[in-house]
Structure formats: C-alpha cells, structure tokens
C-alpha cells in the first residue's frame, strides 16, 4: 500500500514539474512596415480597448486568438493580467454598456500571421515557433 501511494505521489510531482516547461514563448507581431516600438503596457491597452492607436498615432487593429488557445491564455495572463473568465467578463461589460468591442478573433497562429501580414494596422500574437518572415516581432512574452 505504501509503495502505491509513493508511486502516485511521484507521478504527480513529475507531471506538475512538466507543466512549467509546457508554457511556450508568445511573440507579439505587427506588419513588417510598422515602425512602432511597444512595451507590454502599451500592448495590453490595445488588446483591452483602452487604446486604438500605436504610440506613433497610427491606427491599431488587434487580432486575438480564439478562446481556449494556450497562447491566448498565456498572452492575456502575462500581458493583460486577465484569465479567460476575467477577460470574458471584462468584454461583456464593455459591450453591454456600449463602450467597446473585443478584438477580432481568429482560429490559429497561421491565421494571425496571415491577418497581420495583410494589414499594416494589425497587431497580434502567436507562439514564437510560428513566427515567419511575413511579420515583425515587437515583444516577446515568456
């Protein structure tokens, strides 16, 4: 009986250690022609609808990944300081009061890359392993 409990505890410890390593780097990307220099606070304002322009004054169009995406959860936890439930509540409140609309969502990293590459005003985020030469990385979140 003791051996079985020890085995279960050891398995749980190994699995919990692996969780930290499963988190990937998230890259915030813009169109290659965009000269904006952004910090995490400025990116958060764009994705929370508190700003609609890049620091230089050009219009900004945030592109969000779909709910449930691991990169979305990581991005919002570290940049906007909101988990999925808080984010949903935040946008529900703004939409209900007429004070804002959430960013357009797309299904995958490839869709973010395509949308950002096609629109000089777009800003999005992807798993850093998905970055291509079609976009420019302005911030890395890890």
- Residue 113 contacts residue 12 (beta carbons within 8 Å): no
Residues 74-120: tens digit of each pLDDT: 999 999 999 999 999 999 999 999 999 999 999 999 999 999 999 99
Provide CB contacts within 8 A for 136, sequence distance 6+: 29, 30, 31, 32, 34
Q: Count of domains in the chain? A: 1
* Domain presence at residue 116: yes
Residues 2-61: tens digit of each pLDDT: 545 444 444 444 444 444 445 679 999 999 999 999 999 999 999 999 999 999 999 999
CATH of the domain at 126: 3.40.190.10
For position 24, what pLDDT does the model report? 79
3-state secondary structure of 126: strand
Expressed as residue numbers, the domain containing 101 is 24-141
Report how far residue 100's alpha carbon sits from residue 57's, in angstroms, rounded to the nearest whole number: 19
Provide CB contacts within 8 A for 116, sequence distance 6+: 29, 30, 31, 63, 122, 123, 124, 134, 135
* Domain presence at residue 129: yes
* Domain presence at residue 30: yes
DSSP codes, 94-117: HHHHTS--PPEEESSHHHHHHHHH
For position 58, what pLDDT does the model report? 95
**Whole-structure pTM value:** 0.83
């Amino acid at each position: 009986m003791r051996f079985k409990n020890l085995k279960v505890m050891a398995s749980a410890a190994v699995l919990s250690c692996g969780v930290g390593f499963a988190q990937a780097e998230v890259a915030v990307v813009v169109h290659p022609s965009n000269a904006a220099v952004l910090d995490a606070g400025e990116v958060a304002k764009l994705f929370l609808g508190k700003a609609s322009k890049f620091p230089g004054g050009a219009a900004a169009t945030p592109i969000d990944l779909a709910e449930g995406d691991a990169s979305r959860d990581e991005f919002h936890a570290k940049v906007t300081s909101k988990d999925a439930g808080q984010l949903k509540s935040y946008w529900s409140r703004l939409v209900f009061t007429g004070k804002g609309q959430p960013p357009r969502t797309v299904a995958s990293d490839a869709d973010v890359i395509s949308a950002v590459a096609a629109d000089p005003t777009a800003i999005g985020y992807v798993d850093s392993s998905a970055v291509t030469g079609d976009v420019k990385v302005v911030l890395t979140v890890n």
